[in-house]
Amino acid sequence: MSEQTIVENNSGMGKDIQVPEVVAKRFNWGAFLLSWIWGLGNGTYITLIGLLVCFIPFVGGLIALGCSIWFGIKGNEWAWQNKRFNDVEHFHSYQRKWATAGVIVLFLSFVFWFFLVMLAALLGSGQGSM
């Protein structure tokens, strides 16, 4: 029989609480892939920075990528502090759903851009035959 560590459920108690190591040590893929959308769903409004920096000319995309990496690293800690969860298992289940949604959005984005490029190529190749 494996020994489970008892974790005090202090989720949703604010930024000054001690976040359990089993929560804090993991990378949050939902926060990385969906940044500000994930932030709104987890009461972590600092992620709105990622949305704002996208509009900075020339470097906005790179800054947004850096912010997304930061969100992935700190995401579990912030979500635990800002939103109430039943227990650690509930927390991980909830964050796994965000990660799955992020992967689906990423996949659909690639499919959309692929078809857009193919459509542009098809339309562009028909222009010279007139």
30, two tokens: 């939902």
Reply yes or no on whether the pLDDT at 28 is more than 60: yes
R_g over Cα of the chain: 20
**Residue 40 within a domain:** yes
**Each residue of 66-81: pLDDT tens digit?**
999 999 999 999 999 9
Provide DSSP, the chain: -PPPPP----TTS-TTSPPPHHHHTS--HHHHHHHHHHHHHTT-GGGHHHHHHTTSTTTHHHHHHHHHHHHHHHHHHHHHHHS--SSHHHHHHHHHHHHHHHHHHHHHHHHHHHHHHHHHHHHHHTGGG-
**Domains in the chain, number:** 1
**Each residue of 50-105: pLDDT tens digit?**
889 989 999 999 999 999 999 999 999 999 999 999 999 999 999 999 999 999 99
Residue 125 — very low, low, confident or very high, per pLDDT cuts 50/70/90?
confident
- Domain boundaries, position 68: 21-124
Taking a C-beta distance cutoff of 8 angstroms, is the pair 82, 47 a contact?
A: no
**Residue 30 within a domain:** yes
State pTM to two decimals: 0.84
Instruction: Spell out the residues 6+ positions from residue 49 whose beta carbon is closer than 8 angstroms to its own.
Output: 67
**Residue 129 within a domain:** no
**Residue 130 within a domain:** no
